[in-house]
Copies of this chain bind each other. A is one copy, B any other.
Amino acid sequence: MTVRQKVQHILNSITPIQVLALGFATVILIGTFILMLPISSSTNTETDFTTALFTATSATCVTGLVVVDTGTYWSRFGQTVIMILIQIGGLGFMSFATLLFMVMGKKITFKERLVMQEAMNALTLQGIVRLIRYALISTFVIEGIGAALLSFKFIPKFGFWEGLFRGIFHAVSAYNNAGFDVFGNFKSLVQYTESFSVNFVIMTLIVFGGLGFTVQYDIINKRHFKKFSLHSKVVIITTSILIVVGALIFYLLEHDNPETMKYLSFKGKVLSSLFAAITPRTAGFSTLDTANMTNASKFFTIILMFIGASPGSTGGGIKTSTFAVIVMTLFSVVKGREDTEVLSKRIPKDEVYRAFSVICIGIFIVIFDVLLLSVFEKADFLSIFYEVVSAFSTVGLTMGLTPHLDIVGRIVIILTMYAGRVGPLTVIYALMRRHANSNAAIKYPEDNVLIG
């Protein structure tokens, strides 16, 4: 083989999943390079590699963890770069590529469709292009409305251009569940705890972005809940339960905490309870001082963050539907039933195995990271635990550890954000030469081990 043939051969053997993983990495590296330029920082000086890499990874993986304050460290140009990275990362770079294809009128090949399917985590190849086109349009429409509403609030306070930029930036950041803010001093939305309009717009953007495109599609096109796909029903029910029960628990845990809710009005208490329950799905904004919440609230936040948003959405985590399948499998086992049953449907075995694998790989990654950071960073255990889960689920909430991370900690968090966004299973598949059909091989006899 000539060198050229070899290159061609390698290119042909790349799986869609590898394209996806490499695409994210490429976007991150380009972002890093641009953020390192003096023009990107507010002081017009060059930014060091790890700070730029951390920021670009956090933006592209729509995480929102930051080592430098977004509002004060970066210039308007740098903030715009971050916003674009968020948009690329949130939509998935492949739907972005589709946009380019559409604009250029290029025909989409079958292989490209496969890549898109991975990117969108969709169920069938049919209508994948239509779904992506829908995703693009709905994203810009919803973000546009959000930006307009936020600008109404921000323009009177910050002036026209500044208010408009803040409106657009936070609408993009909220809908893509990125959690970046430009209010300065790592304060996120704490100054808007009592503002109904800001809370309402941001929460709606977060929830809608976190449902995933397939669910949005059902909501807008099918209207009646009964007609929705099983997936949409499960996602909507699970999300609703997590929000309502979550808000209730945060209210109970925090209403008397002088560092957070105690001195708020009742409206403020309700809004911030709701916000605290919604932001782990996996936006990462905060309207309360997260570092001063009770330990119980912090731990509860960790659990909610780990569950995260829904598949095919801009959010991270193990996903609401995965959580639902696991809970329903527990019920089935306890009831002595053979299969997992959800809303009068059986979930296939391989999907249940995959659900448990996703949760277990997630737990393994979190455990591994927490051990590493416990060794290399001088910090409180709960801070580390919180930060790691926040990175894994691309949430961006923090108890304040990230800016103080050492080099090892930064690298660990960067890799975790990447694995969390691309999906742990995807990373593993991407690293393998082929995953395909090894079922054709020998089938071993069944045997038992004792469980529990």
By a beta-carbon cutoff of 8 Å, the part of chain A in contact with chain B is 121-123, 212, 214, 230-231, 234-235, 253, 294-296, 298-300, 303, 310-312, 318-319, 321-322, 324-326, 329-330, 332-342, 344-361, 367, 370-371, 374-375, 381-382, 384, 423-425, 428-429, 432, 435-439, 441, 443-452
Contacts and interface: CB of A to CB of B under 8 A. Distances in A.
Nearest to A344: B444
B312 A450 contact: yes
A212 B319 CA distance: 37
B446 A345 contact: yes
The 8 closest A-B pairs by CB, nearest first: A345-B447, A311-B450, A296-B374, A358-B452, A333-B357, A381-B382, A230-B447, A356-B356
A452 B299 contact: no
B326 A439 contact: no
Contact of A341 (B318, B360, B424, B444): B444
Give the copy number.
2
Contacts of A428: 334
A196 to B, nearest CB: 29
A156 to B, nearest CB: 42
Given A319-B452, A438-B336, A443 B296 contact: no
Given A336-B438, A357-B330, A348 B230 contact: no
Nearest to A122: B450
Q: Which of A312, A424, A450 has the most CB of B within 10 A?
A: A450
Given A319-B450, A342-B449, A334 B425 contact: yes
Given A318-B452, A330-B357, A346-B446, 18 more contacts: A214-B450, A230-B448, A231-B448, A231-B450, A294-B375, A299-B370, A311-B450, A322-B452, A334-B425, A334-B435, A338-B350, A339-B444, A345-B444, A347-B448, A349-B349, A351-B448, A351-B451, A382-B382
